[in-house]
Structure 1
Amino acid sequence: MKKALLLCLGLLLLASGLRAAPANVNFASERGMSFQLIFDGRPLTRGAARQVHIDRLTPGYHWAEFVIPTGYGRPYNFRTRVFLDPGLETSFVLITRSGYAPVLRKVAEVALYPGYGPGRGGNGYGHGNHGGYQNAPGGYDSDYGYPNDGGNYGNPNDGYGGQYDGGNNLRVMSPQDADMLVQTVKRNSFDSNRLSIAKQALDQTYIQSDDLRRLLDTFDFEASKVELAKYAYARVADRQNFYRIYDTFDFQTSVQEVQRAVGGGRN
């Protein structure tokens, strides 16, 4: 009987020891650019902030969405996943450069508890001080447990709505350039010419979902819209808003064809 009790007690202690320690995270902008942060679908900033600290998070993957003001009215939405190791405080910097898509870069990991150390690609700079960060309550349960992507997040090839093209730094089409492209495509009489121009324009740039929708509206035939939508998906900057283009189709079968081609419309 005593052996059974000791065994149960040992198993309980082992289970408690295996429970992953919580994680902390810091977000800051590179040049003091203000942003709003939505973390795991929950808005954390009232108005704009330049630095945000969140503690007591479940280790694993989380969604981070940044709403970045622009000089031409509407804000820019950048959404990506971040991986947080247990027992570590991870720091990220939001890099925004004129003419390029935003990048979220991991810059530091520091241990919060004895026995934990930087890992999974962290550089271990030891920037553990987060004084002055806007505090936000943690404790959200996002227990994904996927393997780590690496240090830089937001690669469009990962299928999760990133916007950084493997280091090529392709720029995002400005509203003015998008307007010019739409007008250029409209001036052509045939969908085949329109499609060729649109593909050429999107070959070396990203486009916002709303601008892509306007571009699709210039086509006469459903098949042309479907072809361009499938082609352009890899170059949509705010891929979480890709669903907005579906209103341009006349048939649900077209929507379903595009969804199948882009992997079910994952964001």
Structure 2
Amino acid sequence: MKRIYFLGFLLLFFAQALQAQIVPEAALLVESQRGELFQLAVGGRIINPVASNRVAVDHLPAGRHQLNIRVLMRGRRTQNLNAEVILSANYETVFVLEPSRRGFPLVLRKVEELPLSRPVPPSDSYGRDVCRSVMEPEDVDRVLRFMKEEGFDDRRLEIAKGEIKVAGGIMTEDLYLLLKALTFEDRKVALAKFAYDYVCDRNKFSRVFDAFDFSGSKREMQDFLYRR
């Protein structure tokens, strides 16, 4: 009898483990159109204790989720917005906080859905897979838009680094475009060094040198590549 109970327990355990593994994942991105800072909670869990104008959440189960958004307005005013959203499996659902017709309060609007699984880039000349995933053109355009909306290079740099890390890979020409969106040379160098490990076609990496304005930056990158 004990043996039967034990086998039943094992079957129940493996069934639950299998069910947990096959739950499809989804992701969520919320940003404010005019740059308002906000805190986001998903299912009661606060995602960003420090208010931001753009919050991304991944590894969420697909399906219905309750969002609680606390927007910091001018004059110490706040707006609390509650919304139930549906996240599609294997997609990142993008929402924007935008003004209503009267300008206030803000409303949450669904913008687009971007596939989480991105195609694997081509292999290098030795037949090896360079990247498991790569940032697609529409992703690059979206990141460039976010960067241009920011007034400070430090924030633009952090946006670019974060998006490249999440994507898992980037092509050299797309990295060149992100570098051109930065103003200061030291930020460009910092991004190029960070992104090197994510570049899928490293045989074309010298293209990023065209994004630098000063020879000193190019020499620094050449030294970096030599050490690597």
TM-based fold match above 0.5 = no
Tell me the TM-score normalised to structure 1 length. 0.38
Q: Which has the higher contact order (CA 8 A, sep 6+)?
A: 1
Tell me the TM-score normalised to structure 2 length. 0.44
Which protein has the bigger helix share?
2
